[in-house]
Amino acid sequence: MRPASTPRLPVTARVFVQRFSSTPRGARLARHLVVHRLDAWGVPYGSALSDTAALLVAELAANAVTHGRVPGRDIEVLLRLDAYTLRIDVSDSRGERRPMVTAVTAAPEAEHGRGLLLVDALADRWGVFDRVPVGKTVRAELDLPPRDQRSRTADDFARE
């Protein structure tokens, strides 16, 4: 018999998976479809969660099409929402992991090289994983606020 603990919401995960062309247009479409899917799941456009997810997808997808592009191969975006976490996976077909640039190594006037700093600042957790059979996946996770601190809309999608 399990000891008494804090009651937890039942975990029903919603999952969205889509492949996109490995182009800037594909990255843009990924961002648009993710916020559309979140809205369909009850996370409204313009909410903090939706806006943060849009920024994460925009950065991860842009990195995938810029640095992980393999001609003729798509990128893949996976979105998973349960009662506790929003997980965003962006996968590409390039197997090697490029060195991760930090603000210390990026020149102050550089136009690129700070994207993963945004991911690090916005996500509660993130990492890079090998993808089977080939490639890599960059994952960012956002913890949902405790149930008593959520808006009515957020409660609605967590219970469905």
pLDDT(45) > 90: yes
The domain ranges of the chain are 14-159
CA distance 132 to 123: 24
- If pLDDT is split at 50, 70 and 90, which confidence band does 70 have? confident
Range with the lowest mean pLDDT among 13-22, 65-74, 93-102?
A: 93-102
- DSSP tag of 150: S
Q: Which amino acid is at 109?
A: E
More confident residue, 28 or 116: 28
Beta carbons of 125 and 142 less than 8 angstroms apart: no
CA distance 117 to 136: 19
Whole-number pLDDT of residue 93: 84
Q: Looking up tokens 């509660």, which residue turns up?
A: 124
Whole-number pLDDT of residue 156: 52
Torsion over CA: 152, 154, 158, 160 (sign): positive
Q: What CATH fold (topology level) applies to the domain 14-159?
A: Heat Shock Protein 90 (3.30.565)
Beta carbons of 141 and 94 less than 8 angstroms apart: no
Whole-number pLDDT of residue 135: 87
pLDDT(102) > 50: no
Q: Model's pTM, two decimal places?
A: 0.78
Share of the chain above pLDDT 90, in %: 49
Residue 23 CB neighbour total at 10 angstroms: 13
Average pLDDT of 130-156? 75
pLDDT(67) > 60: yes
pLDDT(40) > 90: yes
Whole-number pLDDT of residue 145: 80
In angstroms and rounded to an integer, the radius of gyration of the C-alpha atoms of the chain is 17
Beta carbons of 92 and 35 less than 8 angstroms apart: no
- Angle between the 48-67 and 115-122 helix axes, to the nearest 10 degrees? 150
Whole-number pLDDT of residue 154: 47
- If pLDDT is split at 50, 70 and 90, which confidence band does 101 have? very low
